[in-house]
């Protein structure tokens, strides 16, 4: 009875407090698994905080692209955002080290590295005025091409589409000997149809949903780079939330993130199966190919180290990978 009275008092006291409405921007489409997860987080956060914290979600790019959302968070018109690694890099350039091509071999490697680098990234991002609520890793980026691409020399014979806005990475690909054609995502279909490009690298889900694969019907299973993202909230807004709620709130986000990872993996399998039925040929990466891809990538790494991300974070990443591989591949 005593605890019931205390809870009742706290509940009625909470009704007297004004609700904190946090506006969250996202490029994930409405009615997508990603936006459904956000809605569930919003529902559970409101319950945990007894109505003190409410999320108002702006899906499908309503709040603008990632640059727009970051700017709006800085001026106070958005309280948070769900970002890809491109957006996180705009806040903290060192996070781009996770997108370096051909660095990671598996999800387990990625998880091991993230566990050790996350505290560094989160402190850097906090210094910029943001709180990282969750990191996500949702699959990998693969090559799609008009003709099979198994080794670097195969790709060098083709024109590779590259999303604009990352000049350092563009130069790294060029220095490694590839024919890069900067292309906006909205123009990729036209570029493929006209022959302006012959290949691109995207997540299979995007290649399928955008219907790009019929024009580039060969996919290499080689893992180019992981899809990293995260949810951030303006730090001064997060600090206003009572501390006694935060542990439960973070548990909710972790559970939703884990569930979303499984759903994304399932969706990707279904997408690949559908694409195979409609003409996609999936090529297993030859056992000796990764070494050759890494050798070619090394030719352009100087365009990234010290320009896109710091030497310190790159060396730390390599040290952690050596540590992991020494334990697991010896």
Q: What is the pLDDT of residue 29?
A: 82
Q: What is the pLDDT of residue 6?
A: 52
Q: What are the tokens at 23? A: 């506006």
Q: What are the tokens at 203? A: 């997540």
Contact partners, residue 124, CB within 8 Å, separation at least 6: 92, 94
Residuewise pLDDT in 10s, the chain (330 residues): 555 555 555 554 555 456 799 999 998 888 888 889 999 999 999 999 999 999 999 998 899 989 999 999 999 999 999 998 889 999 999 999 999 999 998 989 999 999 999 999 999 999 999 999 998 887 899 999 999 999 999 999 999 998 877 889 999 999 999 999 999 888 999 999 999 999 999 999 889 988 999 999 999 999 999 988 899 999 999 999 999 999 999 999 999 998 988 888 899 999 999 999 999 999 999 999 999 999 999 999 999 999 999 999 999 999 999 999 998 865
- Cα–Cα distance for residue pair 154/158, rounded to 1 Å: 7
Specify the 3-state DSSP secondary structure of 177.
coil
Whether the CA torsion 56, 59, 62, 64 is positive or negative: it is positive
Q: What is the pLDDT of residue 127?
A: 96
Q: How many residues does the chain have?
A: 330
Domains annotated for the chain, with CATH where assigned, are 2-328 (3.40.190.170)
The candidate with the shortest Cα–Cα distance to 230, out of 43, 109, 92, is 92
């Amino acid at each position: 009875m005593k605890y019931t009275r205390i809870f009742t008092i706290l509940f009625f006291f909470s009704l007297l407090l004004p609700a904190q409405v946090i506006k969250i921007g996202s490029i994930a489409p409405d009615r997508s698994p990603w936006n459904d997860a956000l809605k569930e987080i919003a529902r559970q956060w409101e319950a945990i905080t007894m109505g003190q914290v409410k999320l108002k979600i702006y899906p499908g790019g309503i709040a603008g692209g990632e640059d727009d959302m970051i700017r709006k968070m800085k001026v106070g018109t958005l309280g948070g955002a769900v970002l890809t690694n491109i957006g996180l890099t705009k806040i903290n350039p060192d996070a781009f080290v996770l997108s370096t091509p051909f660095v990671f071999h598996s999800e387990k490697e990625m998880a091991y590295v993230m566990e050790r680098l996350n505290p560094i990234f989160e402190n850097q991002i906090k210094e910029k005025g943001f709180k990282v609520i969750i990191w996500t890793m949702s699959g990998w980026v693969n090559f799609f091409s008009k003709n099979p691409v198994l080794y670097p020399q195969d790709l060098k014979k083709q024109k590779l589409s590259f999303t604009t806005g990352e000049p350092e990475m563009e130069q790294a690909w060029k220095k490694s000997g590839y024919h890069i054609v900067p292309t906006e995502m909205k123009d990729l279909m036209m570029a493929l149809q006209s022959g302006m490009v012959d290949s691109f690298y995207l997540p299979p889900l995007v290649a399928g949903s955008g219907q790009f694969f019929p024009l580039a019907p060969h996919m290499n299973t080689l893992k180019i780079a992981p899809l990293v993202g995260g949810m951030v909230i303006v730090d001064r807004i997060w600090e206003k939330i009572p501390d006694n709620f935060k542990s439960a709130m973070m548990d909710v986000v972790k559970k939703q993130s884990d569930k979303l990872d499984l759903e994304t993996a399932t969706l990707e399998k279904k997408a690949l199966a559908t694409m195979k039925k409609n003409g996609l040929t999936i090529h297993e990466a030859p056992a000796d190919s990764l070494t050759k891809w890494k050798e070619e990538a090394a030719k352009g790494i100087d365009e990234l180290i010290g320009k896109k991300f710091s030497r310190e974070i790159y060396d730390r990443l390599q040290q952690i990978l050596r540590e992991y591989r020494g334990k697991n591949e010896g």
